[in-house]
Structure 1
Amino acid sequence: MPESRLIPVKLDTYKPLREVVFETLREAIINGTLKPGERMMEIQLAEQLGVSRTPVREAIRKLELEGFVVMIPRKGAYVAGISLKDIADVFEVRAAMEALAAGLAAERITAEELEEMERLLVRIGEHIEANRLEEVVEMDTLFHEALYKASRNLKLEQILQNLREQIQRFRSTSLAFPGRMKEALEEHKKIVEAISDRNTALAQQLAQEHIENAENSMLEALRRNGFDLK
């Protein structure tokens, strides 16, 4: 493991140290700092993060439960790889859950939340026109988080966040696929329109189609970028 790839954690929040370490390691996996198949060695990780081995060990266990790490007997912890089946499984569940969230949002969203989603769509459009991919990904994440919040179902929101995080490392590749950013924006607009019209069935249908389209784009983009999807 190369030295000093991770930044020492900062205790500038009220979160427990083990939670800060967990979030730091999860983000490192998502953004590719820790790569699929890489061994997660407690001593080196603890040194880089400036903590003891205990919170690192606890974080690794939690990462295993969430599917980011795999434990191999007599060898240790490794960053989980991802297969074609893994991606398909995540999207299959996510499509159903996003449809549910959109349907609930159509019933429960407030005027303020609807306006916030409209504003996010405008900002996404501006970033697309300026070809700012990183900002598009950021705004897209905020859009979906706003949708989940509007569902008024905390458990559903938590499930969806976890599903998104499992494939977060590939989202830039997906949205960079030719034409996908504009297609996704138009899909978002239709979902918001259905929610605004309180059309539960249509909101569900459009949300499910949006996730299915995202899956197709991601898989094709990954193949074109040389990922070995088995």
Structure 2
Amino acid sequence: MIIKNGNSLVYNTVKEDILYMDLLPGELISEIETSKRFSISRTPVREAFKKLEYEGLLEIVSHSGTYVTLIDLEKISDIRFMREQIELKVIQLLIEKFDDKIDEKFRKILMKQESLFEANLDSSVLAKRFIKSDNEFHEAMFESVGRLGVWDYLKSLEHHYERLRMFLNIYDEGHLYSLHKDHLNIYDNIIKKDYPKIEKIYIEHLQRGIDRGSDFIAKNPQYFKNVE
């Protein structure tokens, strides 16, 4: 689905509001109030909402309203499985291709992450910026081995996973820093070409997220669907 340039501000802003939990799962979002917010007619708002519905972030219910979708745990399980299988293969390729140019790219991303923790940011702002930088780290892996299209495809499927990540990290600076340390360890072992160590770090990295997610979901089931 293609969205016109004139509607992109509404689409991008509301999408970010959803992904970064400024709009909560299950929350009603008004077409009229949104048009007032952006000082535009309802037509571009309606088109932006349809695009977000197509992406699985909004649900438009006839004669009721438009709601932010619940976070789908089944979709999260699927994307985690895909990410683990594909990303570990990408890391193997990265070890083979690693050079000074790639090294510089990762150094800049890791320095940027470190600077976030020194900036005394509000917890919500820190979480948003770190998650963006976290995505940059993983994107750089795919880009460095010529598979950016695969990354873009995976990201198009990750909307539910992104929201869960924001939920889990918005008030937990300690966990964000542990993610940063994981990145440092992965980077160090890419340089050492120690794939078995990277695989161990990566799987533990994913498992911690799963364990924390299970606790949060049990305490906040109203935000989720396909809860077992």
TM-score band (shorter)?
Answer: 0.7 to 0.9
Partner residue, 1:40? 29
SS at 2:66 equivalent: strand
Q: How many Å apart are 1:74 and its aligned residue?
A: 4.5
Q: How many Å apart are 1:128 and its aligned residue?
A: 4.2
Output aligned runs, 1:1-230, within 5 Å. 16-128=5-117, 132=121, 133=123, 134=126, 135-175=129-169, 176-177=171-172, 179-197=174-192, 203=198, 206-220=201-215, 222-223=216-217, 226-228=219-221, 229=224, 230=227
Query: 4+ runs of 1 displaced by more than 6 Å?
Result: none
**1:203–1:197 distance in 2 versus 1, CA, 3 Å:** same
Q: Deviations over 1:130-180 (max 9, x none)?
A: 775505444323323323322322321212333444333343443454853
**1:174–1:72 distance in 2 versus 1, CA, 3 Å:** same
Q: How many Å apart are 1:29 and its aligned residue?
A: 1.0
Contact 1:177 1:217 in 2 (8 A): no
SS at 2:43 equivalent: helix
**Structure 1, gaps ≥5 residues long:** 1-14
- Amino acid paired to 1:210: H
Q: How many Å apart are 1:49 and its aligned residue?
A: 1.6
SS at 1:92 equivalent: helix
**Structure 2, gaps ≥5 residues long:** none
Q: How many Å apart are 1:68 and its aligned residue?
A: 0.8
Contact 1:174 1:218 in 2 (8 A): yes
**1:33–1:99 distance in 2 versus 1, CA, 3 Å:** same
SS at 1:70 equivalent: strand
User: Alignment identity in percent?
Assistant: 26
Contact 1:39 1:77 in 2 (8 A): yes
Q: How many Å apart are 1:64 and its aligned residue?
A: 1.8
Q: Deviations over 1:101-153 (max 9, x none)?
A: 43343344552232221233244345447775505444323323323322322
SS at 2:50 equivalent: helix
CA RMSD for the aligned pairs?
Answer: 3.3
Contact 1:21 1:59 in 2 (8 A): yes
Partner residue, 1:8? none
Which has the larger displacement, 195-204 or 99-108?
195-204
**1:100–1:163 distance in 2 versus 1, CA, 3 Å:** farther
**1:71–1:182 distance in 2 versus 1, CA, 3 Å:** same
Q: How many Å apart are 1:24 and its aligned residue?
A: 1.4
Q: How many residues align?
A: 214
Q: How many Å apart are 1:223 and its aligned residue?
A: 4.4
**1:173–1:45 distance in 2 versus 1, CA, 3 Å:** closer
Contact 1:64 1:70 in 2 (8 A): yes
SS at 1:166 equivalent: helix
Task: Write 1 or 2 for the structure with the bigger share of helix.
Answer: 2
Separation of aligned partners in 2, 1:17 and 1:213: 42
